[in-house]
Every structure is written in structure tokens, then in C-alpha cells.
Amino acid sequence: MLAKNKIKLNNIYALLVVVVLAMPLVANNYVLNTFSDVWFYVIVCLGLNIVVGYAGLLDLGYAAFFAVGAYTTAILTTTFGMNFWLTIPFAMLFAALSGVIIGGPTLRLRSDYLAIVTLGFGEIVRLTARNLDITGGSSGIYGIERPFFFGIEMNGNIHFYYAFLLLAFLAIFVSYRLQYSRLGRAWQYVREDEDAAEAMGINRVRVKLSAYVIGAVFGGVAGSFFAVKMTAISPETFMFTQSILILLGVVIGGMGKIPGVVCGAFILVLFPEIFRFVGDMRLLAFAVIMLIIMLKRPQGLWPSRLG
């Protein structure tokens, strides 16, 4: 029975892969842009999932990591004229550094204090970006050049669709490998029972810090690509609501479950697009659904048996 289920599941996954790969053949620009957003949120949600889902640390300032990546790329390409592809390692490095800065000292805190500290950190990053000259102040940075990929300028929605799709696949793959790695099991142990984990010889601080750093790197890379796709970034994009949105994606689908998080990212982007005609009410509907999910299925929509 279980094996049969597995085969069915694999068929469905294979079908899905074909669908998403072939989509640009039939879809128009708007649909491509929407789905690029979907893949983008898949990446950041999986990144946050490592922090919240795997390691059980509530982070309300995840947009900060995404901002660090986006600003790093934006500044390096515009002010220093660097090639986009060369900025990615820097974006990863700075995002990882900010992960260490926020993660290092705060990991002793209780989960609710941690939530507030990360929230404060997210706001500090945004306000700093708003106040500094190098980040372009409140207008942000605009006129970011589109990158070239083997001689092709990435200026169409189709290019970014495939770029984000590829990154999303990569994120899924990395998350999957991490989940079943030694580190992944250590995260789950720490999440379920920290003292027991420590007694078993797990270095609690190092394990949590690595969750922060890896999660931050996901956000940083996504931010880099976000900057060149948008060609303009401003502090408004990295508000508290952005962090909450990403957290919602993780929670709706099911924390710690990769297909669940992917599903969550889909709902996150497609729900508001389809219900655009409801106007302001769509956000209310979204919030109510969110509350119901938390109360009825605190483990998320995705059934745990398939996780």
C-alpha cells in the first residue's frame, strides 16, 4: 500500500515538473510574472522553513536577509559596476554574516523574545537602508542592469521564470538533502527537546546558528535575483509585512514539510491574484483562513503522512 502510494506520488511529481517546465510555451507575460513570483516565494519560504520549520526558531524579520542580498547586488552592480553573477557570492556572504550577527547573541532567548528581537532586527535593517546614502535613501536604488546569461540579456519574464524555477528546484533539493542529513536530524532534535539534544552531545548553539546562516543564504540569493528582476528596490519592499507574508507561506502549507511549504508559496501568490476582484476584502479573507488553519490544522494543510 505504502509503496503504491509512493509510485503514485512520484508520477504526480513528474507530471508537475513537466507542467512547470512547459508552461512558458503557452502562458503570457502576466502568468509568467506571477509564476516567477511563485518560485521566488518557494525559495524564501524554504529558507525560512529551515529556521522556523526545522530548527523551531520563530523569525519575524526574515525580510532582512532578503534585503541584505538584494541591496548587496544592487550596490555592487550600480555603484561598483560589478558583473551580476560575481555579486551572488557576496550576497550570500553578507546574508550569512547578518545571520550570524542576529543569530549569535539571541539564541539563548526564549522563543517569544526571539520573535520580538528578530522583528526589531528586521526593522533596523530596513530603517538603516532608508537612512544611508549608499542604499539610496528612501527612493532606494534604481536602474539596476539586467544580467547576461551566455550572451543572452535576461530581460524577459521567461528568463526570470526559468531562473527562479531553477533556483526553486535547487532550494527544494538542498532542503531535502538537509532534512535527512546529520544536521537536519540535529535540528529536529533541538526543536523537539533541547535539553535532551544537548545531553546527547549536540552543540545546541552551533546547530541553531547553522539554521540561521543557511536560511539567510537562501534569502540572500533570492534577494540578488529579485534585485535584477525588479531593476529597482526600495526599503518599502522589506517591511514587516513582507516577513509575515513569508512566514504565512511556511505555516499554511505545513512547517518542516517541503511539499507543504511549496504548496504554501503557491497559495500565497495565487490566492491574492485570483481574488483581486474582491478588493481589500481579500486580505481579510486570507487572514481568516490563516486563523482557521492554525486552529484546525496547526500542522499545516499538507498531511504529515506524505511529508
Partner 1 sequence: MSTLDIFLQQLANGLILGSFYSMVALGYTMVYGIIKLLNFAHGDIYMVGGFVGLITLSLLSPFLGAGWAGILVAMIISMILVGLLGVLIQRIAYVPMLSAPRLSILITALAVSMVLYNFVMSMTSGEYKAFPVDLGYDGLEFGNVFITYTQIILVSSTATLMLILHFFISKTMYGKAMRAIAIDQDACRLMGINVKTIIAMTFFVGSALACAAGVMAGVYYGSIHFFMGFLIGLKAFTAAVIGGIGSIPGAVLGGLILGLLESFGTQLPFIGSEWKDVFAFGILIILLLFKPTGLLGKTEIERM
Partner 2 sequence: MLRKCFLIMVSLALACVLTAGSSFAAGKVKVGIMIPTTGGTATDGKDMESAIKLAVDEINAAGGLLGKKIVTTTGDDACDPQQAVAAASKLISEGVVAVVGGYCSGATLPTLKLYGEANVPIVIAASNSTALVGANPGIGFMINSTGDAQADTAVTLFKSVGVKSIAIVHMGEAYSEDLASIAKQKWEAAGNKVVAYEVVNKGEQDFSSLVTTIKSKKPDAVFWTAYYAEGALLIKQLRQGGYRGTIAVGDGSNSPKLIEIAGKAAEGVYCFSNPIVDYLPAAKTFAADFKAKYKVAPGPYSTLSYDGMKLLADAVKRAGSFDADAIKKALKATDNYEGIAGPISFTDKLTLARSNFVTLQVKDQKWKLHQ
CA dist 199 → 41, 189, 306 (Å)? 37, 11, 31
124 binds partner 1 (CB under 8 A): yes
Buried b (16+ CB within 10 A) or exposed e, 79-89: eeeeebeebbe
Name the minimum Å distance from CB 36 to partner 2.
Answer: 9
CA angle, 164 as apex, 162 and 169 as ends, to 5°? Answer: 90
CA 84: distance to chain centroid? 20
- 33 interface partner picked from partner 2, partner 1, none, CB below 5 to 8 A per type: partner 2
Name the minimum Å distance from CB 299 to partner 1.
Answer: 9
123 binds partner 1 (CB under 8 A): yes
Gyration radius from the chain CA atoms: 19
Name the minimum Å distance from CB 157 to partner 2.
Answer: 6
270 binds partner 2 (CB under 8 A): yes
For residues 296 and 289, the answer to whether their CB atoms sit within 8 Å is: no
For partner 1, the binding residues in 130-149 under the rule CB under 8 A are 130-131
Using CB under 8 A, pick the residue from 266, 268, 293, 300 that binds partner 2: 266
In the complex with partner 2, the residue whose CB is nearer, 166 or 306, is: 306
In the complex with partner 2, the residue whose CB is nearer, 113 or 148, is: 148
Q: Which stretch binds partner 1 (CB under 8 A): 25-33, 68-76, 128-136, 166-174?
A: 128-136
205 binds partner 1 (CB under 8 A): no
Using CB under 8 A, pick the residue from 283, 303, 304, 306 that binds partner 1: 283
Name the minimum Å distance from CB 128 to partner 2.
Answer: 12
Name the minimum Å distance from CB 286 to partner 2.
Answer: 12
106 binds partner 1 (CB under 8 A): yes
Write out the H or E segment, with its range, that includes residue 176: helix 157-179
DSSP 79: T
**What residues have CB less than 8 Å from 246, skipping those under 6 apart?**
41, 44, 45, 48, 62, 63, 66
Q: Say what the alpha-carbon torsion angle 6, 11, 15, 17 is, to the nearest 10 degrees.
A: 50
For partner 2, the binding residues in 177-236 under the rule CB under 8 A are 229-234, 236
